[in-house]
Structure 1
């Protein structure tokens, strides 16, 4: 069956280069169908007739269209307590260490880099809830390239099937059900210490201070090796002494790297 729009090899390569130049994501040929299906929606919305027209439109109206283009391409798949062993480690090992290490500053900073629709930072917030004294300054930074998913994350509203795996105690404690919409909204006390910001990981980072923990899970899988290594170096520079980095289950660091000590299960501690 003929496709609605033609996507030539050169057009796919042009699109792949635009994505790589903008955010470092490598789109191999195996991603061609995904690119087609996601950008075909933009072509329909704009009443265009081909990928060639869309590329021209993107070049002419970059300011208006480019964020839609990137949002369409970037993948957003997440859930609450995904890869739960990371949150077990945070709760059982890292929180006691941070309480001891930061007892003078009483300051805690955690970064969810590539937070998608918010499940990860809210899971972090649930994990650390009431673990630190009220006098402590505890903040979670949640960033993503995609402005659409950030808006959803900031709103903190989820369909019932999104929270079905959550313990009933957590549901009652941290979510309020909207009887009209049927959606579950994150309670303000869980939301209050999370700061959602749009950020391209390959551009300048405006954050000044150091982080105790960085979650960057299922993000670097889309980058090529030089981009990954550069990002890991920047994360090491942003982490405090003894700071920790969590990657996704299918991600790993090159064994020759020296910035981090591998702890198993894609958990890393800053080496110096």
Structure 2
């Protein structure tokens, strides 16, 4: 692949930011080059501009899907930032159990990557409600922009090292060993999570009802402030009064710039 010029990278990063909200800083040039090298070489493109023109011209949208899968970082693991999950178990679930009269939980994992976050929530909900869970609608919506990770997530198959840190009871009750290296989630947990593709830059999100809990963690670090607070405003409007927003510990909200109320590090509430 030919060397990417600064002008080409500027054009490319402006396209990515406009369509997907991701802010690629100048220092990411070499990272983008390394991730796209094989794709450009395989399609015989001599430069990034020609490749971008191909992506824009592709009416099927598949080229854009491939591009996103190449440049996005889908790093996650079970019980990531565990304080959030303990707070969800000890504070949020009791609150919901006592206040949600129609027994319809609406929880959104808004950047679910390969599924560890929503599946962790599903196992926690199953354990919390126990035999009473059958009386509740506890399905979790999980969205991501990447088709590749959504496909992985839907299978619910994880290597032993990925589930090693989970409680022994969870591994026993919620996983079935496939071979010496992999385990698959029980159907009753996999069926609790609905995976869908969603772009945060869409003007309108296709939700008819508001959520009591939104997990939107470790994705806004890729946005500039304007894009970040536009998303936060959307999330606020999609949150029930008294509902919770969880963001990543490496992220924070200016309390003077958001309508959410601070609860604890990386946890906010509406109302």
Report the TM-score when normalising by structure 1. 0.93
Match of 1:108 in 2: 105
1:42-61 matched pairs, under 5 angstroms: 42-61=39-58
CA drift at 1:28 = 0.4
CA drift at 1:19 = 0.6
CA drift at 1:56 = 3.2
Match of 1:183 in 2: 182
1:123-272 matched pairs, under 5 angstroms: 123-132=120-129, 133=132, 134-179=134-179, 182-203=181-202, 204-271=204-271
Assess if the C-alpha contact under 8 Å between 2:177 and 2:183 holds in 1: yes
Assess if the C-alpha contact under 8 Å between 1:71 and 1:146 holds in 2: yes
- Secondary structure of 2:17 counterpart: helix
Aligned with 1:21 (options 18, 24, 32): 18
Q: Matches of 1:34 and 1:75 in 2, distance apart? A: 11
Report the TM-score when normalising by structure 2. 0.93
Q: Matches of 1:61 and 1:153 in 2, distance apart? A: 27
Q: Matches of 2:172 and 2:45 in 1, distance apart? A: 47
Q: Matches of 1:190 and 1:226 in 2, distance apart? A: 37
Deviation per CA, 1:75-116, whole angstroms, max 9, x where unpaired? 1110000000000000000111001111x2111010000100
Assess if the C-alpha contact under 8 Å between 2:236 and 2:270 holds in 1: yes
Q: Matches of 1:59 and 1:168 in 2, distance apart? A: 48
Assess if the C-alpha contact under 8 Å between 1:5 and 1:40 holds in 2: no
Q: Matches of 1:229 and 1:118 in 2, distance apart? A: 25
Question: Please, which runs of 5 or more residues in structure 1 have no aligned partner?
Answer: none
Aligned with 2:37 (options 30, 37, 40): 40
Question: Please, which runs of 5 or more residues in structure 2 have no aligned partner?
Answer: none
Match of 1:67 in 2: 65
Please provide the CA RMSD for this pair.
1.5
- Secondary structure of 1:141 counterpart: strand
Q: Matches of 2:47 and 2:120 in 1, distance apart? A: 42
